[in-house]
Amino acid sequence: MTLPLVINDFTLAVATVNGSGSASSNTILAKTIFRMGVPIAAKNLFPSNIQGLPTWYIVRVCESGWQARTGQREISVAFNAATFAEDLANAASGGVLIVDSDIKAAEKVLREDLTVMHVPMAAVAKEFGPDPRLRKLLANMVYVGVLAELLELDRDILAEVVSEQFSGKEKVVKLNLDVVHAGIRYAREHLDRAAFPYRVQKRGLTTGKLLTEGNTAAAIGALMAGATVCAWYPITPSSSLCENFIELARKHRVDADGSEARYVQIQAEDELASIGLVLGAGWAGARAFTATAGPGISLMAELVGFGYYAEIPGVIVDVQRAGPSTGMPTRTQQSDLRAASHLSHGDTEHILLLPAGPEELYEFTRQSFDLAERYQTPVFVMTDLEMGMNIWMSEPFGYPEGALDRGKVLDEAALRKLGEFARYRDTDGDGIPYRTLPGTHHPLAPYFTRGSGHTDRATYTEDADEYRVVVDRIKRKIRGSVSHTPAPEFEGEGEIGLIHFGSTRYPVDEARAILAAEGIATRSCRVRALPLHAEVAEFVRSCRQIHVVEQNRDGQLADIIRLEVPDCATKIRSILEYGGLPMTAQPVLEALRVAQRKPVHV
Amino acid sequence: MSRSGSPFMSETTAATNHIGLKREDYSGSKSTLCIGCGHDQITRWIIQAGYESGIDPYNVAKTSGIGCSSKTGAYFIDRGYGINSVHGRMPSVATGASVANRNLVVIAVSGDGDTASIGIGQFIHAVRRNTNMVYVVENNGVYGLTKGQFSATSEKGARLKSGDVNQYADIDLCQLALELGCGFVARSYSGDGKQMVALLRAAIAHRGFALIDAISPCVTFNNLPDSTKGFAWLREHNVTLHELGYVAPYESKHVEQEPGTALEVDMPDGSHIVVHKLGDSEHDPRDRKSAMAVLERDRNEPGHVYTGLLYYRPDTELPPLEELRRLPAKPLASFGAEELRPDRAAFDGILAQYR
């Protein structure tokens, strides 16, 4: 029986072992399909471990361009004996399981709804490498070959991607290509292609698009923003953001002869020091940032409050992971929203940017430096593991135009003209004071920065009125930031409102399309910054139903919205996903289908 | 600053320094510390050192943490820029400022609580990175602002006015700094203005991390007759290792040389530290082992406080952070978009990797 072909719409999951060298093979598969013009999204489900524990690489191939996790695995490559039972159970009904012949448990598979194909990966790789370690690495390339044959991947593109993957190192490229061809041969000679219905066919849907990890996109944003100080402490899932920035800066900020570097990176002793370095540099006038995750922002709390009150610019990229405490370091969540927006003791409120996807990660990270200097305050860019460490397709990033927005900085000439300067005074009525930078040579310029009570002239105070003047102004300043932070994005029509942010955009967009096809029209409001823009409250008021979709247990954004729109508080419902796996469209579909069901009267 | 007479002041006769500024151009706001506080003496020596060395006050970054000592940043060099950060985190803030603008002269003031307890990690890492800064610890062995608790530099057996006796061994910040490879380590006493000023001037000239652990009595909480960080005790037990002088490149060198008694230590900027040996002290500040031995002796002879320049190593052997990181002479803070943003072709090149 020949199965009907499934073209460009399936999920491929490769089960392997952490540290076994499968990353290259998986990247090669993903990139080859992307270059064939077919949209993909690739996710790495990995343990908090360096070597030896199970890891899965999941590539969703989707001509419609949806990039969220599906929860379905049409094609499974079982390459790890330890997880075989799990992989078998997770394989989608009607799908194909390609299994390493070395896995004994696979000899008798009791699922008749699956097509099982056995491939002796190690044996095929054997002829190329007597060294057991090399053989293990090469075995990863065998399934690339097998899949290339079964999926009918373009051989020229595949060869080109393999060559790039190994940076054109001739011997390595040839060896890997030879193994790929052995895999192809094996599949051709031993596997029944008719029983494998999935195919990739060339399309022109990825022309001009980028395929990047979110952390890479944010690092490019920091580079283009003119960040000169990167202070960081390694923490999953944020480390690669700083590492990417450093790599870019080494290339683009060091003089040709290597004598001068127009950036500095400091791997700090902890997150207390990384934020201290950022604020010290920001105070002295440099564009400085750090990237961290939940435990890092907890440690930064005190200094972030100092930055808020002393009005010092700085950028903190929070690549969120599952909390609380150490939580699940390699699992995703959007659960730092509440903590970040009011980080530190006393009355504080911070500007948070909520990008969704690489393009916004690039753009918002870049803008965060302008905002930090314009508002003289720490600014958070809230991303997450799902976006940061996985590969996404996006529109190309735009080249930034114009000068950097350094905010209200007075130099010697300006001070001479003004004849007076009070560091914390609301001269312009917008809540934003003027500042001077250390090293400014004018008698009016110097001031004393402190986290203790201060007057608008930056002198110490314990006077109630003098204190209030400053803290009230800061509140106005932060609230006023909505004039420059990214406004919410609205889509669709109808009375059912969906509010979401960040990576939740992917499952929500897909769910809305499916619901629309079922006749359920929805309106979507994607929040892109905190404090909330007034349009969000209008949106809440104008919808009959409001569902806030987010990836945390407590409905953190929903609570923030309730405080902003108290008259609608009870109308706001939550759709939550917080198990740590990337969200699928499913919870949204289920909640909305239930909510639209007409009440049954008995 | 006007609270106690300065024996040092009378020695200064010049009305302006070599950049044409008066001593008062280096002054600050009125102190709010207790009358007679050792910290106020140190404030005065910082003003004096800044004036004598003719540092550009607008380029001074005064960094501090939290505590009595950390308040003093407001009491000197008003034309400088102060940042009174949070408890124990000043070293990172100072390091950030220092790399953002390498023209800044970072004068950090901290205390024994701020440095040896809550901030010991940051202190250690600032030394390790060799951040270019003068780091003065105003060390009184007690928490003053919270009204008299022991600090980590109180020695075992120390007794407070409350009657509490300290049961733990003290942390010797100089020993720690030496251990960490610090290139400038000094211990001094707030009451020894001449030594303090010479040390401060040399520390400012030193490129890299310079530690001055200055014993600075707390008149309110730790000044009993047997308080080893109290005035009475220090007058009796302060053993100066040598008489120190600092000669800047622009100053005429008229060191009264008695052959064999003075040692001139060259600094890379052309200045000199002049070390007059005193008594039977054979300590050579260029010898790290000798410095270790002095501190060992200090520890083994409870009560004795040896002050002076313990160790100095020219920065040519371990460059300061900004040189290690090859920072340009122009401050990072002053670069604009055109110097920082890769051009269109370079940007396209970056994106091309992701297609």
Same domain, A130 and A35: yes
Please provide the average confidence, as pLDDT, over all residues in chain A: 95
pLDDT of residue B310: 97
Query: For position A133, what pLDDT does the model report?
Result: 82
Cβ neighbours of B171 (radius 10 Å): 16
Q: Does A260 touch chain B (CB under 8 A)?
A: yes
Rounded Cα distance, A233 and A227, in Å: 17
Provide the pLDDT for residue B13: 53
A333 and A242: one domain?
Answer: yes
d(CA B305, CA B170): 14
Query: pLDDT tens digits, residue range A442-463?
Result: 999 999 999 999 999 999 999 9
Whether residues A543 and A572 share a domain: the answer is yes
CB A140 within 8 A of CB A21: yes
Under 8 Å between Cβ of A547 and A525: no
**Does residue A11 have a pLDDT over 70?**
yes
CATH code of residue A37: 3.40.920.10
Let me know if residue A206 belongs to a domain.
Answer: no
DSSP string, A548-564: EEESSSS-HHHHHHHHH
CA gap A178, B330 in Å, rounded: 53
CATH assignment at residue A342: 3.40.50.970
Answer whether residue A602 is part of any domain: no
pLDDT at B259: 55
> Is there a contact between B311 and B184 (Cβ–Cβ < 8 Å)?
yes
Within this chain, do residues A176 and A221 fall inside the same structural domain, yes or no?
Answer: no
Sorted by sequence, the CB contacts under 8 Å of residue A454 that are 6+ apart come out as A424, A460, A461, A470
In a domain, A404, yes or no: no
Enumerate the residues of chain A whose CB falls inside 8 A of the CB of residue B342.
223-224, 252
User: pLDDT digits over A126-150, tens only?
Assistant: 888 778 888 888 999 999 999 999 9
Q: Are residues A174 and A316 in the same domain?
A: no
Taking CA atoms, A544 is separated from A355, A515, A547, A573, in Å, by: 27, 17, 10, 12
B-chain residues near A244 (CB < 8 A):
none
Rounded alpha-carbon distances, angstroms, from residue B47 to A491, B29, B79? 64, 12, 11
pLDDT per residue as tens digits for the range B236-271: 999 999 999 999 998 876 555 555 678 999 999 999
* Confidence tier at A602 by pLDDT (50, 70, 90): low
| A284 contacts chain B (CB < 8 A) | yes
Do residues A231 and A340 both lie within one domain?
A: yes
Q: How far is A527 from chain B (nearest CA, A)?
A: 27
CB contacts, 8 Å: A306 with chain B: 85-86
pLDDT at A52: 79
Mean local confidence (pLDDT), A341-357: 98
B145 at interface of A, judged by CB pairs closer than 8 A: no
Residue A272 predicted with pLDDT over 80: yes
Overall number of domains in chain A: 4
**Beta bridge pairs of residue B136:** B109, B212
End position of a domain, from candidates A462, A483, A504 = A483
Structural domain contains residue A496: yes
Taking the model in full, what pTM does it have? 0.96
**Selected residue with higher pLDDT from A238 and A106:** A238
Q: Are A417 and A391 in contact (CB under 8 A)?
A: no
Give buried/exposed letters for A345-365 (b at 16+ CB in 10 A, else e). eeebbbbbbbbbbbbbbbbbb
Rounded (10°) angle between helices B90-100 and B120-129: 30
A249 and A104 in a single domain? The answer is no
In a domain, A111, yes or no: yes
In a domain, A204, yes or no: no
Mean pLDDT of A399-417: 96
Q: Has residue A399 been placed in a domain?
A: no
pLDDT of B161 reads 78
Is A310 inside any structural domain?
A: yes
The two tokens of residue A395 are: 């529109």
Question: What is the predicted pLDDT for the residue at B8?
Answer: 40
User: Could you give the percent of chain A with pLDDT greater than 90?
Assistant: 89
Inter-chain residue contact A276 with B89, CB threshold 8 Å: yes
pLDDT of residue B6: 38
- Mutation site, A245, A448, A457, interface B, largest B CB count within 10 A: A448
Determine which of B29, B31, B90, B95 to mutate to test the interface with A (most A C-beta atoms within 10 Å).
B95
Give me the domain span that covers residue A263: 212-394
CATH number of the domain bearing residue A553: 3.40.50.920
Question: Residue B255: its pLDDT value, please?
Answer: 55
Q: What is the pLDDT along chain B (355 residues), one digit of tens a residue?
A: 333 333 344 444 559 999 999 999 999 999 999 999 999 999 999 999 999 999 999 999 999 999 999 999 999 999 999 999 999 999 999 999 999 999 999 999 999 999 999 999 999 999 999 999 999 999 999 999 999 899 999 989 998 877 889 999 999 999 999 999 999 999 999 999 999 999 999 999 999 999 999 999 999 999 999 899 999 999 999 999 999 999 999 887 655 555 567 899 999 999 999 999 887 788 999 999 999 999 998 888 877 899 999 999 987 778 999 999 999 999 999 999 999 999 999 999 999 999 9
Locate the chain B residue with the closest alpha carbon to A230. Answer: B96
Residues A456 and A376 in one domain: no
**Same domain for A190 and A90?**
yes
Q: Which residues pair with B13 in a beta bridge?
A: none
Per-residue model confidence (pLDDT) at position B277: 86
Collect all residues of chain A within an 8 Å Cβ-Cβ radius of residue B91: 273, 276
| pLDDT value at residue A127 | 86
Residues forming a β-bridge with B245: B274
The residues in B 317-336 lying below 8 A from A, measured between CB atoms, are: 322, 325-328, 331-336
What pLDDT does B278 receive? 84
DSSP state of B9: G
Question: Searching chain A, which residue's CA lies closest to the CA of residue B98?
Answer: A281
A95, pLDDT greater than 70: yes
Confidence check: pLDDT of A216 > 60 = yes
- State percent of chain A over pLDDT 70: 99
Kindly list the distances between the CA atom of residue B185 and the CA atoms of A468, B134, B140, B222, B286, in Å, as whole numbers in the listed order: 44, 10, 18, 25, 11
Same domain, A132 and A278: no
Q: Which of A177, A199, A221 is the last residue of a domain?
A: A199
> Does one domain contain both A355 and A389?
yes
Query: With an 8 Å Cβ cutoff, is B85 touching chain A?
Result: yes
How far apart are the C-alpha atoms of A253 and A248, rounded to whole Å?
8
Q: Are A16 and A140 within 8 A, CB to CB?
A: yes
CB contact under 8 A, A303 and B83: no
| End residue of a domain, out of A453, A483, A513 | A483
Judgement on whether residues A316 and A422 belong to the same structural domain of the protein:
no
Asked if B127 is an interface residue toward chain A (Cβ–Cβ < 8 A), one would say no
Domains and CATH numbers, chain B: 9-324 (3.40.50.970)
